[in-house]
């Protein structure tokens, strides 16, 4: 059985983590398949937005497949963390918008994967969390960096220090997710959002993502420079000219 299922729906690609019998735990084969699928989609001109979800109704992903980590040495653990970090970094910097449809629990590495996406929609019955502290450890696939950047250090520290699960409503309240949706409507609503984004110019979407990440990782001044250069790069492109002409045509009709 495929560990990652890919479906194409027009401009939107739907990726499904496909290990429902293991609550979509992030095994090494699954992560390798996810990484290679994102690489494939990066060069697919027909795809403009990627939606990521989990198979079944229990879990987006319950986290790393702990059974693979038995017998790790300290060096093994370090290498495994750096390997997973590199995959999630590539998802974060993927040149097309990404949306996580959190259909069930997203714990540990599952939440870290969702945090690597640009947007997160969550089922009302779902819960998220970083429970690694209960195993005398802490998040190792980017959670210690992405969660504080997203919701602030104090709120992130509470989630990581307690290891307690967070409800969908509370996740929305702290800004961890963008929307809470009834479970049966989650995929339709996420696809609707993806399609609305996909109607925008791909070059502008990619440039916008790149500029935001420059500011987040290199600071405000570097971000402002990238912002100005990005607008300049897009100015006068066929898509920008067409959009501008359409804007003025609508304005003149009023």
32, 40, 46, 132: the catalytic one is: 132
Residue 112 annotated in active site: yes
Mean pLDDT of the chain: 96
Q: Which residues contact 226 (CB under 8 A, 6 or more apart)?
A: 210, 211, 214, 215
CB of 130 closer than 8 Å to CB of 107: yes
Q: Is 132 a catalytic residue?
A: yes
For residues 61 and 44, what is the distance between their CA atoms, to the nearest angstrom? 26
- The structure's pTM equals 0.95
Question: H/E element holding 4?
Answer: strand 4-9
Q: For residues 120 and 134, what is the distance between their CA atoms, to the nearest angstrom?
A: 25
Confirm if 109 and 144 have CB atoms less than 8 A apart. no
Q: In whole angstroms, give the CA distance from residue 1 to residue 19.
A: 9
Q: What is the pLDDT along the chain (254 residues), one digit of tens a residue?
A: 799 999 999 999 999 999 999 999 999 999 999 999 999 999 999 999 999 999 999 999 999 998 999 999 999 999 999 999 999 999 999 999 999 999 999 999 999 999 999 999 999 999 999 999 999 999 999 999 999 999 999 999 999 999 999 999 999 999 999 999 999 999 999 999 999 999 999 999 999 999 999 999 999 999 999 999 999 999 988 888 888 887 877 877 77
Q: What is the pLDDT of residues 130-178, one digit of tens each?
A: 999 999 999 999 999 999 999 999 999 999 999 999 999 999 999 999 9
Pairing of the two strands 59-61 and 49-54 = unpaired
Among candidate residues 32, 40, 92, 112, the one labeled active-site is 112
183 Cα distance to chain centroid = 19
Give the C-alpha separation, 98 to 21, whole Å: 25
Cβ-count burial 18-49 (b if 16+ within 10 Å, e if not): bbbebbbbbbeebbebbbebbeebeeeeebbb
Rounded to the nearest 5°, which phi and psi values hold at 238? -55, -45
């Amino acid at each position: 059985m495929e560990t990652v299922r890919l479906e194409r729906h027009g401009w939107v690609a739907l990726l499904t983590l496909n290990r429902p019998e293991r609550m979509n735990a992030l095994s090494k084969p699954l992560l390798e398949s996810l990484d290679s699928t994102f690489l494939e989609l990066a060069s697919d001109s027909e795809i403009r937005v990627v939606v990521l979800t989990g198979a079944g109704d229990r879990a987006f992903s319950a986290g790393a497949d702990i059974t693979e980590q038995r017998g790790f040495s300290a060096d093994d653990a370090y290498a495994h963390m750096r390997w997973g970090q590199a995959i999630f970094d590539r998802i974060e910097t993927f040149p097309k918008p990404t949306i996580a449809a959190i259909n069930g629990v997203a714990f540990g590495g599952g939440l870290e994967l969702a945090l690597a996406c640009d947007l997160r929609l969550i089922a009302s019955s779902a819960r998220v969390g970083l429970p690694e502290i209960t195993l005398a450890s802490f998040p190792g696939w980017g959670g210690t960096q992405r969660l504080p950047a997203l919701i602030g250090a104090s709120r992130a520290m509470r989630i990581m220090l307690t290891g307690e699960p967070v409800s969908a409503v509370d996740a929305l309240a702290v800004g961890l997710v963008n929307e809470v949706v009834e479970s049966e409507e989650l995929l339709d609503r996420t696809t609707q959002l993806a399609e609305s984004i996909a109607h925008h110019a791909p070059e502008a979407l990619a440039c916008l993502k790149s500029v935001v990440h420059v500011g987040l990782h290199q600071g405000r001044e570097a971000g402002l420079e990238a912002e100005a250069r990005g607008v300049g790069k897009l100015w006068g492109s066929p898509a920008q000219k067409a959009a501008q002409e359409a804007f003025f045509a609508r304005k003149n009709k009023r």
